[in-house]
Amino acid sequence: MTLLSDTPTINIPNTFNAASYFVDANLERSYGSRTAVICEGREYTYAQIAELVNRTGNAFRSIGLDLEQRVLMLTLDSPEFVASFFGAMKIGAVAVPLNTLMKTQDYDYFLKDSRARLLVVSEPLLPLVEPILAGLRYLKHVIVACTQPGGVTEAGLKEKGYLLFHEITAAASPELEAEPTSKDDAAFWLYSSGTTGSPKGAVHLHHDMVYATELYARRVLNIGPDDRCYSVAKLFFAYGLGNGLYFPFAVGASTVLMPGRPEPKKIFELCAATKPTLFYGVPTAYAGMLTLPESPEYRLNSVRQGVSAGEALPKHIWEKFKSRFGVEILDGIGSTEILHIFISNRAGKVKPGSSGQVVPGYEARIVDEHGQDVPPNEEGNLLIKGDSTTAYYWNKHDKTKETIIGDWIRTGDKYHVDDDGYYWYHGRGDDMIKAGGIWVSPIEVENALIEHSAVLECGVVGRTDSDELIKPMAYITLKPGFAPTPDLEAELKQFVKDKIAVYKYPRWIEFVDSLPRTATGKLQRFRLREKANS
């Protein structure tokens, strides 16, 4: 079945730089004195952010960064992230925010795959990349954003050849004319797992953020200059990047940034201190917030609208959250490739448990295995059409052709649409697991487990927990001489945590005598999924 939404007209000139649209335009609106960013108790106006963006762009140019060269950003949510992202874009370079939860070997891949000339890294994350820097052919400069500028560690950093963010920007000019890029020039990449292969750099163009803003933020959320946004999802996520950066900047609103982990108590403390009106979460965060006892200190009185994406929001979590906090959550589905949410519930018209209806300006199809549209209420593969979609995957021509078919992109998700036009999620069409709103490759977890001396073979699948959220589960056969024990189970979990990103470790381990395989020896993960969720 094909469903079309009302298509708004969005006119973007051929010569267009997204940094001018999202940053400089706020000065033209006389919003310079308005609060743009709130971070760790400090407020930054749009005038201050615009100046920092200009200084950052000029600093990047001063070290030789040129048009279309990549700037990798291993940067915590902070003004330095904002300035690096838009500063790179303003000079025609390409910003590449990286997941800050990964391991050293992951960053080695990203740096080599992107051929980045510059890395901007937050000081607490520097130890993750230091071991690999000497082996990088293309990387020329590392800029460190210090936790405490002027601190005692600076001399040591400079001795190692690092540039300091606060020093190099302070020395740069506060004036910068935007590079006359095309609306179809590459502006930034976001790395997506997407399949069980290597991460893919989804190339987004200067116009993409405008479409996501105009179609979703304005028409679904009704975002305005008086809003204050807080996103549990970090800026390196496609979802968090819109929530916490370009959505509020598009209208002169404020954003609240938290560099640290968004634990439930800290979320409530931040909300009490900063009073956000738009709260963007993921199902795991909403479930975590509900685990705290009912108390006056755990309130969301300022929030006019909640938003959820990353994975399907279970109906019972929606109902409990609405009952306890009085906040309606708009669940939706987006992706790294399509940049932000393209199917969403609407305020006052939510069907709990569903992903909602097509966002105006996007088109959706649900098709069978042969690419033919299926009727309402029949499950199929979801395809989306919209102008915020990635142009292609960097250096992944075959994957681009597999995923993008003309104007349409395969999401990899199974859905059905009901008679009212609401979409209902049925899971992934491949073996990927979405845990806490982040893609997890089962092969990566299996590869980590198999390195343990006790593991003969293993299979990893997604399992639904008590909150109806998906987490990795591992089925393991042991080598002779090893016996299944609680201590070994705990050891294996820690072993995986030490090797790959912590959120990927298996929450459950079941020791088995054998794994289900085809006649040719291929692991039948679907049988493990059936077993895990039976």
Domain residue extents for the chain:
433-532
| Residue 203 near residue 390, CB atoms below 8 Å | yes
485 touches 520 (CB < 8 A): no
Q: What is the pLDDT of residue 194?
A: 45
Residue ranges of the chain whose pLDDT lies below 70? 1-7, 193-197, 518-522
Residue 20 phi/psi, 5° resolution? -65, -40
| pLDDT tens per residue across span 38-70 | 999 999 999 999 999 999 999 999 999 999 999
Separation CA 354–CA 338 (nearest Å): 19
Tokens of 392: 């292609």
CA-based nearest residue to 529, from 476, 465, 459, 479: 459
Alpha-carbon 461 to chain mean position: 22
Query: For 433-532, which CATH superfamily applies?
Result: ANL, C-terminal domain (3.30.300.30)
pLDDT for position 292: 93
302-330 pLDDT, tens digit per residue, is 999 999 998 889 898 999 999 999 999 99
pLDDT in the model for residue 45: 98
Q: Name residue 204's beta-bridge partners.
A: 188
DSSP, res 218: I
Amino acid letter for position 43? E
The verdict on pTM exceeding 0.95 is no
